[in-house]
Amino acid sequence: MKTTKKLLMSFAQGLLAVMLIHGFSYIGDFKTTNNVFLSNGVENNLAKEKENANNNETNDILKENANENIITNNNEAKDILKENTNDSSENSSEKISVDQCTQTDDNLLSDNMVKDTNIIKEPRVENIPIVRSTLKADFNDIDKNIYRLSYNPNEILSYNGESAENFIPAEGFDNPNKYIVVKREKRRLSDSTSDISIIDSINDRTYPGAIQLANRNLIENRPDIISCKRKPITISVDLPGMRDDGRKVVNSPTYSTVNASINSLLDTWNTKYASKYTIPTRMSYTDAMVYSKSQLSTMFGCNFKILDKALNVDFNSIFKGEKQAMVVAYKQIFYTVSVDAPENPSDLFDDNVTFDELSLKGINDKNPPAYVSNVAYGRTIYVKLETTSKSANVKAAFKALISNQNISGNTEFEDILQQSSFTATVLGGGAEAHNKVVTKDFNQIQNIIQNNSVYSPKNPGYPISYTSTFLKDNKIATVNNKTEYIETTATEYTNGKIVLDHSGAYVAQFEVTWDEVSYDEEGNEIIEHKVWSGSDKDRTAHFNTEIYLKGNARNICVKAWECTGLAWEWWRQVIDAKNIPLVKERTFSIWGTTLYPKKSIEPEI
């Protein structure tokens, strides 16, 4: 029984030694694995190799100790068997065996082995420099790459519109009792604005906090947006009296959530502040004579191709000189919703969003990111004033009408407006104001402008313009538009006549000359000199005639002489009128005696 006990003890000691050998081998592999994870260069690889070598040496030592221990145990077992056979002293044998077992255990738990075991510690990620720096680099990935974007903010949103080429500079047309001259001249227009008008259904791309790409599509009022997971933003509305109630945090900014937050702010205003405050409507208007879509887009900071459908501007007739038109934009701002500016670009993106993801969505040097920093809500009323009048004072007549001047008694202005019609389209406000209005009575247009001009739940604000800000440096994104257009002016020249009347007591002569202006197929001016067929012929009293001139007559000259009968002054000049403007009728009369001739010109020159 004792012999079996000793054999089992020896077997257990051997098994313990083998387990320790495999345990230290696993520890070495674990340390090697962690060293590989922490390695970040050649130095760490060399350190790993050195450590592996040390571990191999340690394992060799452990194996040698274990083998020696197993051999010792086997010898002890043989001695014990011999002692049992010879009936030697059991107490002495047991004492020796116990001492040897104790000695073997002490060898297995040597100081070196304990020391090696104690150095194995559970790695802490926050204390590993390479992991900490990697996490920091990932956190700043968006900031670093957006700050590195290279672009010129003055050029990235620049747009050169239409180029005006291949046009006929002038044309002339004969109309009944009129001659019409259409002249065309190339004009250049440039404009810089950060207030981008909204004239179509792009609200889901221009809401406060929306992230856009600053590119050509933004200029043309059809911006590209970046959709991704977002961090919360803070929006505020500038309605009076709200203070802290006028701010709201939007946790996941999208068109729907931002719109819901704005409606919540407006509900707060309607229930708590509307009865205490009135909203001062900020109003402005811009007007421009119409020549081309590109010209109007530049003037009004919008894509006029879309607005043209509502106003139905006849650009073809305007180019031909058959019509003249003016467009007026009345902008009424009820309130503005703004977004708190981020300190860093990454403040707008969720922590899980990377710059690689943003790059795949289009962000690069040619398409830098911008965010909608504020949106103005209210109404915009676009009015088209159109006339068939060829008067050179059409613009002045329209401006007098817009400013509500009294034009009674000004027959030319009245004539222009009688040939005019007016079209208005309203963006924003109550539903009844959205309908297109076409009328010949401008008072109806003025009523639309004056009514519904203040915010109320029944007259809600519509997003009418917005401002974008570059995400890189929080600079305002300014749209720089340049375009060429053809300014067309049509001038009507009414046909006229000259009346010559002679009732004096002498023989008279008249001379009438003028130039007729026309244009060839390339628009070059052609001047043809004309002389009245009755010029320089003797006329006795009473003589009266009418000379009809076309509207293209220029440089009209009328001369008259009377015969004195004096040898030293046989012919005396009575009338010498040069460069006379053509009117419907002008009468030149002479009378009197040879020594005292008289004259009159009606109307006077």
Does residue 583 have a pLDDT over 80? yes
Q: Are 456 and 427 in contact (CB under 8 A)?
A: no
Does residue 281 have a pLDDT over 80? no
**pLDDT of res. 203:** 84
**pLDDT of res. 18:** 52
Q: Are 556 and 580 in contact (CB under 8 A)?
A: yes
| CA gyration radius, the chain | 50
The label of the residue with tokens 């911008």 reads 370
- Give Cα separations from 584 to 432, 497, 530, 552 (angstroms): 49, 6, 19, 13
Least confident segment among 4-18, 394-408, 523-537: 4-18
**Percentage of residues in the chain having pLDDT higher than 70:** 75
pLDDT tens digits, one per residue of 361-389: 999 999 999 999 999 999 888 999 999 99
Mean pLDDT of 209-227: 92
pLDDT tens digits, one per residue of 418-442: 999 999 888 876 655 455 777 888 8
Mean pLDDT of 508-525: 94
Does residue 19 have a pLDDT over 50? yes
pLDDT tens digits, one per residue of 544-573: 999 999 999 999 999 999 999 898 999 999
Reported as type and span, the H/E element at residue 186 is strand 178-193
**Greatest alpha-carbon span in the chain:** 191
DSSP 401-469: HHTT---TT-HHHHHHHHTEEEEEEEESS-GGGSS-EEES-HHHHHHHHHTT-S-BTTB--EEEEEEEE
Please give the domain boundaries of the chain with CATH numbers for all domains.
Answer: 2-134 (no CATH), 153-490 (3.90.840.10), 495-602 (2.60.40.1430)
**pLDDT of res. 325:** 94
**CA separation for the pair 458, 274 (Å, rounded):** 13
| Residue with the larger pLDDT of the pair 194 and 591 | 591
Mean pLDDT of 509-527: 94
pLDDT tens digits, one per residue of 171-186: 998 888 889 899 988 8
- Give Cα separations from 200 to 286, 306, 359, 378, 461 (angstroms): 19, 7, 29, 14, 15
Sheet containing 496-502: give its strands across: 543-549, 496-502, 585-592, 597-602
Does residue 191 have a pLDDT over 80? no
**pLDDT of res. 529:** 96
Reported as type and span, the H/E element at residue 93 is helix 90-108
| Residue with the larger pLDDT of the pair 158 and 21 | 158
**pLDDT of res. 542:** 94
Mean pLDDT of 396-419: 91
Mean pLDDT of 264-288: 89
Q: What does the block give as tokens for 236?
A: 């505020």
**pLDDT of res. 334:** 92
Mean pLDDT of 54-67: 46
Strand, coil or helix: 194? coil
Does residue 72 have a pLDDT over 50? no
**Percentage of residues in the chain having pLDDT higher than 90:** 45
Does residue 605 have a pLDDT over 50? yes
pLDDT tens digits, one per residue of 442-481: 888 888 888 888 888 888 888 989 999 999 999 999 888 8
Mean pLDDT of 73-93: 43
What is the chain's mean pLDDT, rounded?
A: 80
As to burial, measured by CB atoms within 10 angstroms (0-12 exposed, 13-18 middle, 19+ buried), residue 503 is middle
**pLDDT of res. 520:** 92
pLDDT tens digits, one per residue of 98-145: 344 344 444 444 444 444 444 444 444 444 444 444 444 444 699 999
* pTM exceeds 0.75: no
| Residue with the larger pLDDT of the pair 347 and 167 | 347
Q: Are 370 and 223 in contact (CB under 8 A)?
A: no
Q: What does the block give as tokens for 259?
A: 């719109």
Least confident segment among 153-167, 271-285, 361-375, 559-573: 153-167
| Residue with the larger pLDDT of the pair 481 and 267 | 267
**pLDDT of res. 246:** 94
**pLDDT of res. 21:** 55
Mean pLDDT of 574-596: 94
The listed range with the strongest mean pLDDT (48-57, 233-242, 485-494) is: 233-242
Name the pLDDT band for 159 (thresholds 50, 70, 90). Answer: confident
Name the pLDDT band for 486 (thresholds 50, 70, 90). Answer: confident
Give the dihedral of Cα atoms 260, 265, 268, 274; nearest 10 deg.
Answer: -120
